[in-house]
Structure 1
Amino acid sequence: MQCNLYAAETKSPMTLYDELSVTPAGRDTVLLNKATEISSFLLPLKESGTRDTLLLHFSNLSGQDAVDTLFVDHIPQPHFESLDCPSSVFHTITGVRATSHSLGNMPLTIDSVALVRSIVNYDDVENIRIYLRSTVRQ
Structure 2
Amino acid sequence: MFTLLLGGICWISSCSDINCPINNGVWANYIVQGDTLRDTLTISAIRENKSDTVLLNKQVNTTKFSLPMSYSADSDKLRFAFKSKAGVTTVDTVTVSKTSKSHFESVDCPPAFFHTLTAVKAKGTRVSKIEISNPNVDYDGTKEHILITFTNP
TM-score range, shorter chain: 0.7 to 0.9
Q: TM-score, normalised by structure 2?
A: 0.75
Unaligned runs of 5+ in 1: 8-13, 102-108
Letter in 2 for 1:20: L
Confirm whether residue 69 of structure 1 aligns to residue 131 of structure 2: no
User: d(CA) in 2 for partners of 1:118 and 1:81?
Assistant: 22
Instruction: Give the count of matched residue pairs.
Output: 122
Larger Cα-atom Rg:
2
Unaligned runs of 5+ in 2: 1-27
Which residue of structure 1 lines up, in the alignment, with residue 45 of structure 2? 24
Confirm whether residue 133 of structure 1 aligns to residue 139 of structure 2: no
Letter in 1 for 2:44: T
Correspondent of 1:87 among 93, 105, 111? 111
Q: Which runs of 4+ in 1 moved over 3 A?
A: none
Which residue of structure 2 lines up, in the alignment, with residue 112 of structure 1? 129
User: d(CA) in 2 for partners of 1:48 and 1:3?
Assistant: 21
SS state at 1:33 partner:
strand
| Greater alpha carbon shift after TM alignment, 20-29 vs 53-62 | 20-29
RMSD over aligned Cα atoms: 1.3
Letter in 2 for 1:43: L
Identity %: 34
Letter in 2 for 1:6: Q
